Amino acid sequence: MSIFGTAFASGNYFATVVPMEWSLGGTSVRIGSENAPLYFVGPTQINAQVPFTATVGETVSIVVNANGKLTAPQSYLIAPAQPGIFTGAVIDVQNKTVVTVSNPAQIGHDLVLYSNGLGLVSQVCPAEGFDHHVLEIATRLAQGPTAAYGRAKALFEASGEASLEAQLDAEAAAISNMALTRDFQEGIRAFAQKRRPWFQGR
């Protein structure tokens, strides 16, 4: 979410660690009963993350603490999503320029869009179980067919600039190459033997 006003901070402060801090430049934001993780704090704008504990449909109060000076509480309804793209914040990656009416994006180029209010775009878990949840996901991925993961990611990254025919050919070649790996054979053996596979990334 973005909050606009005046005298929030003396300069521009950006999040530099993950999980993000609850205070930047002496400024913090309280959403309901939780402190909000902060992406950015500037003199006239704050970009914050709505806490995971916020419930869709409930009304919460929002208070900004700017170096000990509190704003008056304002109440807002938590919606599932209310997307908005920041003005002047669409970047053409190849040209390294801002996309405008006079400088439109080019076909086949990658774009970076800065927005907020997208709602649930990934998994959500309680804050107190976040580290454990991340470790579970990392462990599951590390125990999977990492060679296949890497090949699939490479195909995905190349798909934006490839024609349909070229992409299908690349996928067919990738499948043929992966069929020669030890992980592929291990997957077949594990399926036939009705056991969990032991992949080694080879």
* Residue bearing tokens 């033997």: 193
CA-based nearest residue to 115, from 96, 87, 80: 87
Helix (H, G, I), strand (E, B) or coil at 164: helix
Domain holding 176, by residue range, is 143-192
- Check pLDDT > 90 for residue 183: yes
Q: Which of 12-16, 69-73, 90-94, 195-199 has the lowest mean pLDDT?
A: 90-94
Contact status, residue 35 vs residue 29, Cβ threshold 8 Å: yes
What percent of the chain is predicted at pLDDT more than 70? 94
Contact status, residue 114 vs residue 89, Cβ threshold 8 Å: yes
**Residues 62 and 96 reside in one and the same domain:** no
Write out the DSSP string of 53-78: T--TT-EEEEEEEETTEEPPPEEEE-
Q: pLDDT category, 65, cuts 50, 70, 90?
A: very high
User: When comparing pLDDT for 34 and 91, which is higher?
Assistant: 34
**Residues 106 and 72 reside in one and the same domain:** no
pLDDT of residue 122: 64
**Residues 66 and 91 reside in one and the same domain:** no
Query: What mean pLDDT comes out for the span 120-143?
Result: 80
Residue 185 lies in a domain: yes
**Residues 52 and 98 reside in one and the same domain:** no
**Residues 69 and 29 reside in one and the same domain:** yes
- Tell me the pTM: 0.50
Residue 198 lies in a domain: no
Q: Count up the domains in the chain and report the number.
A: 3
Q: 140: number of CA atoms within 13 Å, CB side?
A: 6
